[in-house]
Amino acid sequence: MPGKRVNFNISERKVLLRIFDMLFILVVLHLVSQFFHFDYFTITKDKWRWVFVLLLYISVFGTIFEMYDLQKSSKIEKIATSIVVTVSITVLFYLLTPFFTPILPGNRLQILYFYLAILIALFVWRLAYLTLITSPRFYRQVLLVGETQHASKIISDFKNSDPNYNIVGIINCDVDPAKSKTIEGITEYYPEDIEGIIQDKFISEIIVTGCNPELINPKIYHGLITLLENGIPIKEYTQVYENMTQRVPVQFIGKDFYRYFPFSRSNQNRLYLFFQRLSDIVISMIGILSSLFVVPFVFIGNLLGNRGPLFYTQQRVGKHGRVFKIIKFRSMCMDAEAQGAVWASKNDSRATRFGRFLRYSRLDEVPQFINVLKGDMSIIGPRPERPVFVKELTKVLPYYEIRHIIKPGLTGWAQVKTRYGASVDDSLLKLQYDLYYIKHRSFLLDANIFIKTLSTIIFYRGQ
């Protein structure tokens, strides 16, 4: 249909950021090499492998320091720090690995030019990205078709996930006008206007938001069929919600839940499970051995700041609902739960000053490597919850028990995507992320979580 214009999906923008980051770096390094005659940058028959090492470092450290976060990338003041830190760490590692990279130049000034060339290349490209790709002309214009009851929540989640996703209006399917809700900033249209809206507003996608099939009247139905024939994508909102937010919208799923949970084959794949267990054993052993250097400092800090037992154990629910005892460095005062179990929260008054340090740095979780080695937990998976809270949450949150079909984890998708769960609403958000992980579990997603966990530790985001 006429009126369509170019726009980029989330995955396309992430690919563009990575590809052009690398391309601009190589181009600027080449120009600097030619202009200043610095042989440290020159690609020759004998010196070419360094290119792949440099690009690997940029990609890995860029991910750790959130250089490819679309929300941050939408504003230069937000992404500037990530760029500077990524370039600094990349150049440092590059210089310290001469076995894989060129030998340090005799003229040390080349190192400065090397650093500045990469920094300038990234800033030039990111400014170009902000000017071109994230400009309104490339926004994805979307039209909703459905009831208005949950539309405001859906719109908010979409906007928070992708600032370039612009919902311009809604075709109201509410049967009862009294239940209709006006959504600020969203125009309500009539079914007979749908084809005109597509052309006038440059609509590139239609999302059907939770209407029961029988609620879509014949006029809307035939209009959607015509638009589909003309190449306009029409999608079901739970699919779009999951792809954009990377979590499963359990609050919008009814009794036909089995349609939404075609869980990852990795959950039953023997090869995946074997390598997962192998990596659990290797990482937990490395973690336990490394913690031997940390324990003396934690012991002294606990002696001065907590004045109580160094370790504490607590019952948690594991795979298939089996209860086990989790091990942690104690971060709360001795009588923290004298009045019964209470949700942990941000700036929890029960946590000691040293205990808050342990939480923010995630050092309080180190003893859980023992649980991983024993097989109670895995390195990656949904965080295990206490039996009393599981009982409570199971009553109010749909499909909460599904979290227990795999082993709980030391870290997980919910832990790297959201903050500490201190209420039922927080637990709902974490559940959405946990179900997304169970549904899409893979080596690639595990690697992504592992890298993002490093970001959480580096940026001191524990609670």
Task: List the chain domain ranges.
Answer: 10-131, 139-245, 265-458
CB 352 within 8 A of CB 362: no
Q: Does position 251 have pLDDT exceeding 80, yes or no?
A: no
Question: Band of the pLDDT at 380, cuts 50, 70, 90?
Answer: very high
Residue 455 has a pLDDT of 79
Q: Does position 2 have pLDDT exceeding 50, yes or no?
A: no
- Mind listing the pLDDT tens digit for each residue in 297-354? 888 888 887 777 888 888 999 999 999 999 998 877 766 565 556 666 566 667 788 8
CB 180 within 8 A of CB 155: no
CA atoms within a 13 Å half-sphere pointing along the CA-CB vector of 284: 24
Q: Quote the percentage of the chain above a pLDDT of 90.
A: 29
Angle separating helix axes 443-458 and 424-440, nearest 10 degrees: 140
Question: Band of the pLDDT at 431, cuts 50, 70, 90?
Answer: very high
Question: Band of the pLDDT at 255, cuts 50, 70, 90?
Answer: low
Max CA pair span of the chain: 79
CATH topology for 139-245 is Rossmann fold (3.40.50)
